[in-house]
Structure 1
């Protein structure tokens, strides 16, 4: 029965269902199959109410209990699961997506944000149909340039009402939101879900059926008097509220959030592991019929019919008399865009009469009977939807604002820094406020001011770490978790940084595998990495003997890292690769860096008062010293570096390109830096010499030519050092 009519099937699991069941081993096959059929019928009914109508009648815990019982019956009695609600959890991972030809072309539509382009579309429609234009136009098709504003033909943004008086205008338009998601073709045969395909190139796309099966608003079986064959087009999207919650979880884990709901959706439907898709909050609106054994006469007739078959549609549609009504419809969408739970980037305007659509036809790329009137991009001002506190690897707590995506200087921004509790207080910002976003140095987005207060009270900074619940300690305007490496966020991010390309560059430990090692308790500190056992690793899901052995080999090979790489990997606050290299060539050994006082540290290039204090604090921490001592006990011994021997090359800047003979590019850079020179990666007017070895990059050679920079071969470079500055590359006299 249709959920629209609120007619529940005669089924014991629909209203106030009993969730206590006899053990599966105590029932016979016939009883099990009968109960499974009832559970499937009830779960489909509840899915329609929850995901299509947003009007559930049972709590989530009861739904989960019914689903769990169905899974148990299907498993114990080997019941066919084709089309079962249990398939929503996702199946086996895929190796790749198959390419499938569409039932009918999935064309794009022409679009513009200029109102005159929309009126020109209307002129073309009338001309091709051989009709005169009423309303704002003249009989000969010329536009008088005036805007009729709110026309008599404007419809409200509600469901189309079949019983309402209809107009007699020669061309009526059916208007609907243009959703900012991922377009999909879904095919049903005899009411059963057969496949789902991405739009691709419009003629064929990727078969993403395994992922789409997990989206609960897309029925696996149709309801009502459905056609024998149906191919529909829909838009998969991530609801705005769900997107913000999902981003909150990512930020709390230390991951980068998605830039916008569309990116999140596109990445999710193309997962090779359907179980990942099943965990993410996707939804879908259907808006077009590509092919069917059912005949339609109008666009709005299609829209009315789809919900009867269990397909979710959007209610913010309108049938309007003329193009001015369509323009008004779009303007209403602009005004309401912040109040809906999905991203809209335009209004789709379709000729309503399908016979007229057939006469208008299509180009190879787009139909002539449809047009998208784009919404203006949000710029600078947006709604702050949430504030989440992120825990860094040093324990620092940073509040992050999660925003409705907004364009700032050509970049889509969905998060912005709030820096610290003091800034939040000074701004007086709260969830729901409209804020203005700026980018510091055109790079880092931040909340500049509150434009409009829409919430009561202000965000209160937590007194306990949101990850481990340890007390929060304040140091001036900054806040820190006191949990140390006992805090999962700090541990995970410290290890992640240690093995990253910016640290020791240990391959085979991506985000997922690192999470796995921490969650299983195999790694509780950085030194634990060197205790990992090949057999233990090989038994983990997704691992094998080869990957386990490769990781062990990588870890062994990294036991004698360059000193600067090791300093970077430790995650010393304010110490990146450049500062680490300066420390290494100034002090030469790890012990010397660890024992240096602030005065000695301030003598190093790139190290000022603040950085010197951070370095001293880090190596003065007993906990950090214990970690370093444990690493040494596991055989980790950073290489010593020859300290600077003079300033013979002071003031010179070198750039190296190509493969040097007998020394690496890094060793050549260290060499000139020890004698006071600078070594940079790009050629500019400040470069004194470009050393071009075999395989030199052409772009650097071109830059040298443009800036009149002398180009030296390796032999000429060595002669220059030896003859002009008394430096022997081999002996380093």
Structure 2
């Protein structure tokens, strides 16, 4: 047998044995025999480097060192899930779903594993990229580290598509976690806090050989891509298993939310028998055609819901209430607690939200309080053990002055939070606004992080985000932790931010209540900062989905002379303050003021159709109502949508008719 054939035969054998052991949990050879075959393959590959393959089983031992992880934009956004905590919330979701889709609705129940989210990309059956979730729009390329995880197939088998992405969770089983901690304690090192954080931290280790030593596992649950020829979520799980992925067997298909609740109740008890951490159940609409119909909100899919198991609760002492100042001046009261172990982490602080919440719970310093960690990352106080209260304790007096700058706090009518009005003189507000400006979803300035912003402000180098564009390398170099290369990258990153499109610049300005979605709407409507600045409150309210609160906030921002000066400076430095000519060329007002519903299957993707409607000034709605102007009807459209459109006299268009309309 020639060398190349021998190498390929060994690779195939080892891949199969690896799959049997780590995915099926049914080894067919001993560890010793596996190691001998691996050693033989390593020796052959070393002697014959011309047959190198980055997806060879020998690459699982690691060795590649990554100094900095490249940022990769996801081809398909990684959304977060909406949470529910009761049967009623689940039933409400079911009602909303059935209003929007036709036909029988089935639900896939999957356990929600608590690990680090990952997106794997395969081309021609081989792993080409592994990217962390990041902010959902872009993440870090951790391919070298993920190659070392034995349950991640490097090469697939069967009838896989030419290119697709598969999402899942990288987890650390309890047994492996306990073993790692035992070794650390023996070596005199601090044990790790919990499996989830350890799994997440492992993905960012620079040396992949160190990652290879950790018993990480990868559980997969979501296939995404064009032309994958799969019709449902349950079918996709079966296909993924056939191609070689480790897909948990606990998933089940249900036909009602009462059956879903039976599944939830069973696993709420039996989850402790599983080898991994779980914190709930994910319920998904099974049919992909119905998922397409339902679409997404700005943050999460309408076709999925995470049902969270009841939160863990502990009792501890509230030592002190302190106050934090956010970038908008909002004051958040924080409970400083006697440290307590909760859901695998040591909790020292918890949110108290606002003055009303403190009054409602009657929380006081020195109280014994109940702390809970549910769907939120930050724990919260949910009650007080009044039986343990000191009879001499006095009710909490909410802060009257800003803890950072001493300014008298204000509370607007109808709002729960207090604010520090010293916008341009309060240090946390100054730092927070600049940190928001440079963040990933905003200007995404590479080489500049939150700590560095604070360092610049505290050293008097910058006082607002416009000052960033006047920074010189020689000003930065003398600062702590600032090497030549870091300073160069930072200046380049600031310069490159001038290419960021207008809608993201508008979001970056940090106008209160103007999030990503609102910024896009305003940018599309006004097309330039000058037009937006000139708009009155009345004109702003007339823009679709812009309410009085947003209109007041935008007008208030531009009424401030300091803000107008900063915007003028940003314009002068070359920051994009209007929609580019290229983008404008693709946009029209042909569909201005008209509402569309898209239903069925089309040659174009639903996202492409939605973009065409929005680029031409129209609005896309998910359900038909008296306000709907057009129903764009495709194949496999449900009969109830059709009946409703006919009853309301909604104009119907097929795909060709719609495209003709916007030509």
* TM-score normalised by structure 1 residue count: 0.43
